């Protein structure tokens, strides 16, 4: 990942987008090249951050992947996105195949590639460039219900990965409960984009297992309230509430806490321990 991270830093300054396969760089493509080889269009989406419909100038993301990797990316497992602030969400390749993703580079009819987002208790104008991955969700109710899952902005890198290879220290321990295993899947979807477990995951929020796991220092009910809506505990919290439209939301929170509890008995790989 170090190679991709270094390349992504260069891409951020140059306006290029770095593509990799299992952390090994494949190509860097500029906006001009994508406009010439892929061709841009316009897409109207309901933006989960701004809470309104927005029209973006964008490339069909599957066509971008075809241009960079050829068609064999379709047989891969997951896509890992790297953003300039350390945000690292993943989405299954199947989601790109089953739904309509677009790589946006400008906001139509507006001076500036920005949007309004609730952060730390107030609405702030956020810079989106160089790229913002959006999904057609005006007609696609399933994607709309999933909120901001898979909507990374300030995007500088794309990597085709296998989750078990890329995030070995995040895997639930052998013998973990069914709820913990399901909680792991929920953690990958909702939490690992910002948080790491044993060093594996995003870098915006705090590490959640080393040197201490939150289930070891906080009461269960407090953690439920925090995941449900951090602003009810800390009004200026940067962490957003768990997607309010999520089906069986209370059950998902319980599964997340079961996973965190199971991970408390694990630790980072021996070579990363002090």
pLDDT at 233 exceeding the cut of 80 = yes
Instruction: Note whether 239 and 228 are within 8 A (CB).
Output: no
* Same domain membership, residue 178 and residue 43: no
Model confidence pLDDT, tens digit, residues 156-176: 999 999 999 999 999 999 999
pLDDT at 8 exceeding the cut of 60 = no
* Same domain membership, residue 232 and residue 216: yes
**Looking at residues 61-69, what average pLDDT do you find?**
98
**Looking at residues 261-273, what average pLDDT do you find?**
73
CA distances 65 to 17, 30, 69, 140, 220, Å, are: 12, 14, 6, 22, 43
Q: For residues 80 and 21, give the distance between their C-alpha atoms in angstroms, rounded to a whole number.
A: 10
Assess if residue 229 is contained within a domain.
yes
Full domain range(s) for residue 90: 2-164
**Looking at residues 115-133, what average pLDDT do you find?**
93
Predicted local distance difference test score (pLDDT) of residue 15: 65
Assess if residue 273 is contained within a domain.
no
Assess if residue 274 is contained within a domain.
no
Q: Tell me which residue of 31, 57, 34, 29 sits closest to 44, measured CA to CA.
A: 57
Q: How deeply is 4 buried, as exposed, middle or buried, from its count of CB atoms within 10 A (0-12, 13-18, 19+)? A: buried
What phi, psi does 193 have (nearest 5°)? Answer: -65, -30
Which carries the bigger pLDDT value, residue 109 or residue 66?
A: 66
CATH of the domain at 186: 1.10.760.10
* Same domain membership, residue 195 and residue 61: no
pLDDT at 12 exceeding the cut of 50 = no
**pLDDT range class, residue 105, cuts 50, 70, 90:** very high
Q: For residues 24 and 152, give the distance between their C-alpha atoms in angstroms, rounded to a whole number.
A: 21
Tokens 């089953």 map to which residue? 98
Predicted local distance difference test score (pLDDT) of residue 196: 93
* Same domain membership, residue 152 and residue 27: yes
Q: For residues 16 and 3, give the distance between their C-alpha atoms in angstroms, rounded to a whole number.
A: 16
Predicted local distance difference test score (pLDDT) of residue 269: 60
pLDDT at 207 exceeding the cut of 80 = yes
Name the β-bridge partners of 102: 60, 134
pTM listed for this prediction: 0.83
Q: How many domains does the chain have?
A: 2
CATH of the domain at 136: 3.90.420.10
Assess if residue 185 is contained within a domain.
yes
Assess if residue 201 is contained within a domain.
yes
pLDDT at 47 exceeding the cut of 50 = yes
**Looking at residues 1-5, what average pLDDT do you find?**
42
- Determine the Cα angle at 139 with ends 135 and 141, to 5°: 80
Predicted local distance difference test score (pLDDT) of residue 37: 97
Instruction: Note whether 3 and 144 are within 8 A (CB).
Output: no
């Amino acid at each position: 990942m170090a190679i991709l991270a270094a390349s992504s830093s260069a891409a951020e300054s140059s306006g290029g987008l770095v593509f990799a396969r299992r952390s090994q760089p494949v190509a860097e493509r500029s906006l001009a090249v994508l406009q010439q080889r892929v061709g841009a269009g316009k897409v109207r989406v309901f933006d989960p951050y701004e809470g309104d419909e927005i029209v973006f100038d964008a490339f069909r993301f599957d066509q971008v992947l075809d241009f960079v990797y050829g068609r064999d990316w379709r047989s891969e497992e997951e896509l890992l996105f790297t953003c300039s602030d350390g945000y690292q969400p993943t989405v299954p390749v199947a989601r790109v195949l089953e739904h309509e993703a677009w790589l946006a580079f400008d906001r139509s009819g507006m001076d500036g590639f920005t949007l309004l987002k609730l952060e730390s208790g107030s609405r702030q104008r956020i810079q989106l460039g160089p790229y913002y991955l959006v999904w057609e969700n005006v007609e696609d109710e399933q994607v709309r219900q999933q909120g901001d899952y898979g909507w990374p902005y300030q995007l500088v890198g794309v990597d085709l990965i296998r989750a078990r290879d890329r995030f070995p220290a995040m895997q639930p321990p052998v013998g973990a409960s069914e709820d913990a295993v399901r909680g792991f899947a929920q953690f990958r979807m909702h939490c690992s984009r910002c948080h790491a477990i044993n060093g594996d995951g995003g870098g915006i929020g705090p590490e959640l297992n080393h040197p201490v796991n939150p289930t070891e220092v906080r009461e269960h009910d407090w953690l439920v309230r925090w995941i449900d809506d951090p602003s009810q505990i800390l009004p200026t919290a940067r962490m957003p509430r768990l997607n309010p439209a999520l089906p069986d939301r209370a059950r998902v929170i319980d599964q997340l806490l079961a996973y965190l509890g199971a991970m408390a008995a694990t630790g980072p790989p021996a070579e990363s321990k002090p």
